[in-house]
Amino acid sequence: MTDPNKTLRVAMVGHAFMGNAHSQAWRTAPHFFDLPVRPEMAVLVGRDADRAAAAAARLGWAESSADWREVVVRDDIDVVDICTPGDSHAEIAIAALRAGKHVLCEKPLANTVAEAEEMASSAAEARARGVRTMVGFTYRRVPAIALARRLVDEGRIGEVRHVRAQYLQDWIADPEAPLSWRLDKARAGSGALGDIGAHVIDLTQHITGDRIAEVSGRLETFVKERPLATSPSGGSLGDSSGTVSTERGPVTVDDAASFLATFRSGAMGVFEATRFATGRKNAIRIEVNGSLGSLAFDFEDMNVLEYFDARERADVAGFRRILATEPSHPYVAAWWPPGHGLGYEHGFTHQVVDLVEAIAAGGDPAPSFDDGLQVQRVLAAVELSSDTRTWQEITQ
């Protein structure tokens, strides 16, 4: 039962696309799930005081601030939720951990392996003091994905042999789409590889319970210059919905990434991440083939998991379409009757639930900063492989 006398006061840094999604989750979670402690939306932080105040009022935060450094050391803050571009993740997270705050940090964990290592080290030191950390790989919390993990754990598909993973979008396929921070390596770290490729790296490792051991990859930037935006974003995916100028600036990240992978078990993997798949808005496609069956998922049909049982007779065998909306499916019992599907936002709510429950129990949330560091090493290995045209090992 929720104890109304126990609270977790949350400060969130950043209030664009991810800030909106996280705010909805913090508002919703305690109303649908019986949490052991009650999260309070205490402070929203943004770079501009007026815009932060307006966002706080709209999203349901009690107050706002333009100074994250002052907020993360406040005695009345328990959790810091980081929804900023990757170039500020390390500084904010490390400061919050040193101040004794639990930290939820959006993915990818950092812009470089060195930053991610420093964050993981700070998390390990903080953990010894009872401080917890989590990386926001939210798609883990889609019920169909959580069900896939359960079926692999139960041995339903046997020994994993093949993994295929794609994350397909088209939001910058237009060469006149303006520059945003997501297209600036200094702020984003990488392009499609880190922004969306990180998700399918994490998802496949999560579902299989295995880790990638080596990669061979290629990155490509199809449109190397774009118009400069001249006014603030209106909150689109690329944070670039303002007016544009006739001036152009360089795109310094990849538009698309593809790589082969070998998992530690010996399973083979094929990965693709692109923002140039015209007609695909948010297609996360994962297929796992095992010795006893297969699983397949596509986020554009997110309430469905396909399952093939290779032990069935050939005359009746085929992929089974599982509608993951039953109360027995992960997370679903708190929501609607069977057949009433969940949406994108529910994964963020489930993330809050898992984080709050772990903190209250004194346990370690997943994915941890160590998990985020491992994904960062895979991203770096793919980039180095593309530069050198060689296979690269992930040794840790």
Identify the pLDDT of residue 20.
98
**Do both 227 and 101 map to the same domain?**
no
Whether residue 168 lies inside any domain: the answer is yes
Tokens of 219: 């990155």
What are the distances in angstroms from CA 299 to CA 140, 167, 304, 331, 392? Answer: 12, 9, 9, 17, 29
DSSP element (H, E) containing 153: helix 143-153
DSSP element (H, E) containing 133: strand 133-136
Q: Are 134 and 368 in contact (CB under 8 A)?
A: yes
- Which of 139, 165, 198 delimits the end of a domain? 139
φ, ψ of residue 291 to 5 degrees: the values are: -70, -20
What are the mean pLDDT values of the chain's consecutive 10-residue runs (396 residues total)?
A: 81 97 98 97 98 98 98 98 97 98 97 97 98 98 98 98 98 94 93 97 98 98 92 48 76 97 98 98 98 98 98 96 98 98 98 98 97 98 98 92
The answer for residues whose C-beta is within 8 angstroms of residue 137's C-beta and 6 or more apart is: 107, 198, 199, 202, 203, 206, 367, 371, 372, 375
Identify the pLDDT of residue 183.
95
Scored b (16 or more CB within 10 A) or e, 235-273 reads eebbbbbeebeeeeeebbbbbbbbbbbbbeeebebebbb
Measured distance CA(127)–CA(110) in Å, rounded: 19
Q: What is the CATH number of the domain that holds 33?
A: 3.40.50.720
**Do both 166 and 22 map to the same domain?**
no
- Which of 106, 139, 172 delimits the end of a domain? 139
**Do both 163 and 54 map to the same domain?**
no
**Do both 101 and 214 map to the same domain?**
no
Which of 248, 184, 186 has its CA nearest to residue 221? 184
- Which of 94, 116, 139 delimits the end of a domain? 139
**Do both 348 and 206 map to the same domain?**
yes
209: left (phi over 0), alpha (psi -120 to 50) or beta: left
**Do both 76 and 90 map to the same domain?**
yes
**Do both 149 and 102 map to the same domain?**
no
Which residue type is seen at 356?
V
Tokens of 265: 């078990």
What is the maximum span of the chain, computed from C-alpha positions, in angstroms?
67
Whether residue 240 lies inside any domain: the answer is yes
Whether residue 109 lies inside any domain: the answer is yes
Residues shown for the chain: 396
Number of domains into which the chain is organized: 2
The answer for residues whose C-beta is within 8 angstroms of residue 63's C-beta and 6 or more apart is: 42, 43, 44, 56
Identify the pLDDT of residue 242.
56
* DSSP letter for each residue of 219-273: EE-S--EEEEE-S---S-TTS--S-EEEEEEE--S-SEEEEEEEETTS-EEEEEE
Indicate yes or no: pTM above 0.75.
Answer: yes
Q: What is the pLDDT of residues 361-382, one digit of tens each?
A: 999 999 999 999 999 999 999 9
Identify the pLDDT of residue 395.
84
**Do both 235 and 125 map to the same domain?**
no
Tokens of 371: 């998990």
Whether residue 34 lies inside any domain: the answer is yes
Identify the pLDDT of residue 46.
98
Q: What is the pLDDT of residues 100-129, one digit of tens each?
A: 999 999 999 999 999 999 999 999 999 999
The answer for residues whose C-beta is within 8 angstroms of residue 246's C-beta and 6 or more apart is: 227
**Do both 245 and 342 map to the same domain?**
yes
Whether residue 214 lies inside any domain: the answer is yes
Identify the pLDDT of residue 240.
45
**Do both 64 and 171 map to the same domain?**
no
Tokens of 86: 């990757």
Q: What is the CATH number of the domain that holds 296?
A: 3.30.360.10
Which of 324, 329, 268 has its CA nearest to residue 298? 324
**Do both 355 and 228 map to the same domain?**
yes
Site of tokens 């400060």: 11
Measured distance CA(24)–CA(343) in Å, rounded: 12
Whether residue 369 lies inside any domain: the answer is no
Whether residue 394 lies inside any domain: the answer is no
Q: Which domain holds residue 252?
A: 142-364+376-388
**Do both 109 and 123 map to the same domain?**
yes
Whether residue 393 lies inside any domain: the answer is no
